[in-house]
Amino acid sequence: MAAEKMALAKAINESLRSALEADPKVLVMGEDVGKLGGVFRVTDGLQKDFGESRVIDTPLAESGIVGTAIGLALRGYRPVVEIQFDGFVFPAYDQIVTQLAKMHARSLGKVKLPVVVRIPYGGGIGAVEHHSESPEALFAHVSGLKVVSPSNASDAYWMMQQAIQSDDPVIFFEPKRRYWDKAEVNTEAIPGPLHKARVVREGTDLTLAAYGPMVKLCQEVADAAAEEGKSLEVLDLRSVSPLDFDSIQTSVEKTRRLVVVHEAPVFFGSGAEIAARITERCFYHLEAPVLRVGGYHAPYPPARLEEEYLPGLDRVLDAVDRALAY
């Protein structure tokens, strides 16, 4: 297999498969990841081919999943654990924040924790409570963790490869509403750096910065704006921690306007950090304040309301208009 069109979920599956093949120390762990292949089938067929010792169905205990993965990593394994849904990560939050994130520093670099925590995240699929959240800022705020989110199948394949190879713990947010979106994946390509942003679309009037599920929306926004004669540049940030501020700065120095889009609540979200730092870096270049479009400071609403809560085409276009009006 070299280049093939595949869905994002399948790309992660292929990536896990090739990692399991390449390194006997790689393990896949989580609830229902074995026979069922995960509730989204991301791990489909892996247990059949690699056995129960490599692809491990776990008890229903998130802290236990992450805590034992830490122990396995200390023994030399490279566990890739699945948290079934975003809102279920919190029982494991203590292990992730107080243990996984800190152990390398506490040991003065003597132990490494190459653990990947996969979290299907975000809304837009009509799910019930705790199945649609975007808690990435809570993890990005914690030193010792890296936080990434692919937006397309090719990145999903390669970023997973790189996350597994990383000696640092990586929180890997998978945009579940894009699981079925297909794209060309070249498994023999040479990938760029894991934490480098990518210009998805060039433009001159304003920069839209997003990651994960919102990249596709921003491309649609840029299409719509183009019909009105506005030229928007779209950045796929790809990594939330570290954040590629250099690429954002380069783009903003060109376009002089920035709108950040994410599903997570705007308040204390990654957009706030981007706005603050880009204001510091590009104060004399900016023609408008950095604007943010995201969720509200309210619990993720019931599914019949989520289209109102989530950033959509019109809300982002509205922010674009406001920025251009300065």
Among positions 9, 72, 164, 323, the unique one binding another protein when judged by CB under 8 A = 72
Window contacting another protein (CB under 8 A); options: 63-71, 209-217, 258-266, 300-308: 63-71
At residue 62, φ and ψ (nearest 5 deg) are -65, -40
- One symbol per residue from 76 to 95: x for binding another protein (CB under 8 A), - otherwise; what is it? xx-------------x--xx
Among positions 1, 3, 22, 105, the unique one binding another protein when judged by CB under 8 A = 105
Contacts of 46 (CB under 8 A, 6+ apart): 13, 16, 17, 20, 28, 33, 37, 54, 55
- One symbol per residue from 142 to 171: x for binding another protein (CB under 8 A), - otherwise; what is it? -xx-x-------------------xxx---
96 touches another protein by CB under 8 A: no
Virtual CA dihedral for 313, 315, 316, 322, nearest 10 degrees?
Answer: 140
Rounded distance between C-alpha atoms, residue 240 and residue 244, angstroms: 8
Does a cis peptide bond (omega within 30 degrees of 0) precede residue 242?
Answer: yes
C-beta closer to another protein: residue 40 or 173: 173
Which residues in 224-253 contact another protein (CB under 8 A)? 241-245
Which residues in 109-138 contact another protein (CB under 8 A)? 109-112
C-beta closer to another protein: residue 57 or 181: 57
Window contacting another protein (CB under 8 A); options: 140-148, 204-212, 225-233, 287-295: 140-148
Rounded distance between C-alpha atoms, residue 6 and residue 15, angstroms: 12
Q: How many angstroms separate the Cα of 242 from the Cα of each of 66, 88, 181, 194, 278?
A: 22, 24, 26, 10, 15
Exposed e or buried b for every residue in 313-324, given b needs 16+ CB within 10 A?
Answer: eebbbebbeebb
Report the number of secondary-structure helices (H) and strands (E) in the chain.
Answer: 12, 14
- Where is 215: in which H helix or E strand? helix 214-227
275 touches another protein by CB under 8 A: no
Provide the residue type at 250 as one letter.
T
Match 């700065």 to its residue by tokens: 249
- Annotated active-site residue 195? The verdict is no
- Where is 26: in which H helix or E strand? strand 26-30
Q: How many residues bind another protein (CB under 8 A)?
A: 46
C-beta closer to another protein: residue 143 or 204: 143
Query: Is residue 82 within 8 Å of 31, Cβ to Cβ?
Result: yes
C-beta closer to another protein: residue 30 or 213: 30
C-beta closer to another protein: residue 96 or 316: 96
Which residues in 195-224 contact another protein (CB under 8 A)? 195
Among positions 107, 126, 305, 321, the unique one binding another protein when judged by CB under 8 A = 107
Structure token digits, residue 175: 């945009």
Among positions 43, 47, 58, 270, the unique one binding another protein when judged by CB under 8 A = 58
Provide the residue type at 196 as one letter.
K
Rounded distance between C-alpha atoms, residue 31 and residue 6, angstroms: 25
Distance of closest approach, residue 38 Cβ to another protein, in angstroms: 19
- Where is 6: in which H helix or E strand? strand 3-7
106 touches another protein by CB under 8 A: yes
Among positions 9, 20, 70, 225, the unique one binding another protein when judged by CB under 8 A = 70
C-beta closer to another protein: residue 235 or 293: 235
Rounded distance between C-alpha atoms, residue 264 and residue 88, angstroms: 16
Q: Catalytic pick from 104, 130, 131, 195?
A: 131
Query: Is residue 145 within 8 Å of 206, Cβ to Cβ?
Result: no
Q: Which residues are catalytic?
A: 131
Residues making contact with another protein (CB under 8 A): 53, 58-59, 61, 63-64, 66-77, 91, 94-95, 98-99, 102-112, 143-144, 146, 166-168, 195, 241-245
